[in-house]
C-alpha cells in the first residue's frame, strides 16, 4: 500500500522542480553536517516554518533510516499508531517504510499498533519527508502518530524506543515534529514559547510537560518531543540545542495571532 501525499500543493509545492529548488534554498548552509541522535522540527507550510526546519536539517547527517513521531491533529485512529503502508509518496519519489525496524518496534512497544487511519490526512510527518529525501536519497522511514499521553507513558515509550535502537548496528535518526504556541499575539507567543524552550534546552522533560500544561501552551507536538528527547538521552544525548526560532507574524505581518516555530538538535 502506498500512502499518498495529503498536503503537497498546499504546505509545500507539488511540482518536483519547484519543490527541489525551494528545498535547496532552505537547506543552504556553510555548516558541515554532523550525525546527531535526534531533532525536533516544526511542520507548518514551508513559507512559514521552512526556514526553521531547513536550518536544522542543514546541520545534520541524515542516515538511511529515520523514525518520525508527530502529533495526531485529527484525533482519528489509535493513540500510538505506526503506518502500515509499504511506502509514502512525495513529489520527489516514493519513500519505503523500514518494515524490519517497524516490526521490531511493534514487538517491543506494547501500545504501538498498525493503524493508517491516524496517518491518512495528517500533515505533521509528511512535511518532513521532502527535506529528508533531498538529503538522503536511500531513505527508509517509520512514521508514528501520537495522541494524548501522560508524562509517565511518554517517558516509558522513549525508553522502549531506545531499547530497540541500542540493539541495532545501523544508525537511526529520531525526529519529533512540533510547532510551538498557536494563535496568541506575537509578544505572548514568544513569552510562552520561551518557557517551553528553556525546559528543552535544559533537558528537563518533567518541567517541559508541566509548563506546557500549566501555561496552556498549545505546543502540538510536546508528547513527540518528550518521547524523542527521552530516547535520545537513553542513547547518550545530553544536549538539546536551539538552532532557530521564528513565528508566522514575521512572514505575513500579522502580530496579533501567530504560531511559533522552533528547531532543535539532540546530541
Q: Report residue 218 as a C-alpha cell.
A: 498549545
The dihedral through the CA atoms of 229, 233, 236, 238 has a sign that is positive
Phi-psi category of residue 141: left, alpha or beta, with phi > 0 → left and psi -120 to 50 → alpha: beta
Q: Which range marks the domain in which residue 66 is found?
A: 2-266
pTM value is 0.97
Tell the burial category of 110 from Cβ atoms under 10 Å away from its Cβ (0-12, 13-18, 19+).
exposed
CA–CA separation, 70 vs 123, rounded Å?
9
Of the candidates 148, 146, 97, the one whose C-alpha atom is nearest the C-alpha of residue 118 is 146
Strands 172-177 and 38-41: parallel
* CB of 123 closer than 8 Å to CB of 73: yes
Task: List pLDDT tens digits, range 187-220.
Answer: 999 999 999 999 999 999 999 999 999 999 999 9
CATH assignment of the domain containing 218 = 3.40.830.10
Residue 31's pLDDT band, with cuts at 50, 70 and 90, is: confident
What is the total count of domains within the chain?
1
DSSP 8-state symbol, 179: -
Per residue in 223-252, pLDDT (tens digit) is 999 999 999 999 999 999 999 999 999 999
Amino acid at each position: 500500500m502506498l500512502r499518498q501525499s495529503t498536503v503537497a500543493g498546499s504546505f509545500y509545492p507539488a511540482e518536483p522542480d519547484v519543490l527541489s529548488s525551494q528545498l535547496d534554498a532552505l537547506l543552504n548552509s556553510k555548516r558541515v553536517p554532523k550525525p546527531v541522535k535526534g531533532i525536533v522540527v516544526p511542520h507548518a507550510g514551508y513559507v512559514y516554518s521552512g526556514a526553521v526546519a531547513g536550518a536544522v536539517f542543514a546541520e545534520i547527517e541524515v542516515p538511511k533510516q529515520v523514525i518520525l513521531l508527530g502529533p495526531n491533529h485529527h484525533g482519528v485512529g489509535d493513540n500510538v499508531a505506526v503506518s502500515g503502508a509499504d511506502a509514502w509518496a512525495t513529489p520527489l519519489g516514493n519513500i519505503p517504510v523500514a518494515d524490519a525496524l517497524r516490526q521490531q518496534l511493534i514487538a517491543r512497544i506494547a501500545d504501538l499498533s498498525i493503524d493508517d487511519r491516524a496517518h491518512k490526512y495528517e500533515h505533521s510527518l509528511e512535511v518532513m519527508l521532502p527535506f529528508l529525501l533531498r538529503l538522503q536519497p536511500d531513505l527508509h522511514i517509520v512514521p508514528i502518530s501520537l495522541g494524548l499521553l501522560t508524562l509517565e507513558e511518554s517517558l516509558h515509550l522513549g525508553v522502549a524506543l531506545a531499547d530497540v535502537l541500542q540493539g541495532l548496528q545501523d544508525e537511526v535518526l529520531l525526529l519529533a515534529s512540533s510547532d510551538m504556541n498557536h494563535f496568541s499575539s506575537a509578544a505572548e507567543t514568544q513569552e510562552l514559547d520561551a518557557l517551553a524552550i528553556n525546559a528543552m534546552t535544559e533537558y528537563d522533560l518533567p518541567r517541559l510537560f508541566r509548563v506546557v500544561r500549566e501555561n496552556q501552551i498549545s505546543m502540538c507536538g510536546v508528547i513527540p518531543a518528550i518521547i524523542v528527547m527521552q530516547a535520545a538521552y537513553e542513547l547518550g544525548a545530553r544536549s538539546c540545542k536551539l538552532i532557530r526560532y521564528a513565528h508566522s507574524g514575521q512572514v505575513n505581518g500579522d502580530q496579533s495571532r501567530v504560531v511559533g516555530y522552533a528547531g532543535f538538535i539532540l546530541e
